[in-house]
């Protein structure tokens, strides 16, 4: 009997929740940003070096979908867990990881869709991240991509990054790219 009452009460509560959610007028409300501890916005600039290693026994980038033809990279999808360091040398101080994917999207040019998080592992920004999503015209000297969000100290982040290739090995595909990041956050 107690089980039956519990089931009936649960069903009544579920129906009430569905009915009240369906009204539409209470799905959003304006809240004070102080409720989230948000104060004055800050602009943070940092420079990191992104190490895309496809070669060797422990690559940080793995092609999960090869290109559709041998004449271009179009259609190729690569998953990354790349080191972010303070200097060009791959063995310099590690500050975080770039985790995500990039997909070759240009049929007639070398461009990629970059979808990645810079997850910081040291110092003041330990545990924080920024999210980058945008087009990377990889043969252009300076590429700009948007910062679309973040977590931790970069909550509500927005801004952009500038990418500059510092080193590229045509045979292996390994590369080091400087990311100069300009991030507005609270």
pLDDT band at 60 (very low <50, low <70, confident <90, very high): very high
> First vs last Cα of the chain: how many Å apart?
54
Residue 22 confidence (pLDDT) above 60: no
110-158 tens-digit pLDDT:
999 999 999 999 999 999 999 999 999 999 999 999 999 999 999 999 9
What mean pLDDT is predicted for residues 78-107?
97
Element (H, E) at 16: helix 2-21
The position carrying tokens 């500050």 is 95
Cα–Cα distances in angstroms (integers) from residue 177 to residues 145, 156, 161, in the given order: 13, 26, 12
The predicted structure's pLDDT at residue 29: 82
Q: State pTM to two decimals.
A: 0.82
> Any idea of the CA torsion for 166, 171, 174, 180, to the nearest 10 degrees?
20
Domains of the chain: 39-185 (2.40.480.10)
What tens digit of pLDDT does each residue of 70-81 get?
778 899 999 999
Name the DSSP class of 128. Answer: -
- Of the pLDDT bands very low, low, confident and very high (cuts 50, 70, 90), residue 11 is low
């Amino acid at each position: 009997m107690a089980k039956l009452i519990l089931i009936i009460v649960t069903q009544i509560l579920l129906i009430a929740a569905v009915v009240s959610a369906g009204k539409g007028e209470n799905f959003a409300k304006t809240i004070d940003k102080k409720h989230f501890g948000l104060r004055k916005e800050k602009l943070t600039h940092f420079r990191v070096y992104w190490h895309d290693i496809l070669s060797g026994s422990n690559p940080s980038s793995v092609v999960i979908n090869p290109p559709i033809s041998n004449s271009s990279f179009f259609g190729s999808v690569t998953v990354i867990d790349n080191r972010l360091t303070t200097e060009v040398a791959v063995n310099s101080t590690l500050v975080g990881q770039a985790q995500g994917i990039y997909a070759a999207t240009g049929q007639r040019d070398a461009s990629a869709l970059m979808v990645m998080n810079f997850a910081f592992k040291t110092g003041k920004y330990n545990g924080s991240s920024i999210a980058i999503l945008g087009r990377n015209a990889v043969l252009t000297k300076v590429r700009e991509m948007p910062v679309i969000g973040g977590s931790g100290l970069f909550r509500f982040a927005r801004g952009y990054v500038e990418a500059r290739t510092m080193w590229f090995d045509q045979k292996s595909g390994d590369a080091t790219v400087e990311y100069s990041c300009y991030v507005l956050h609270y």
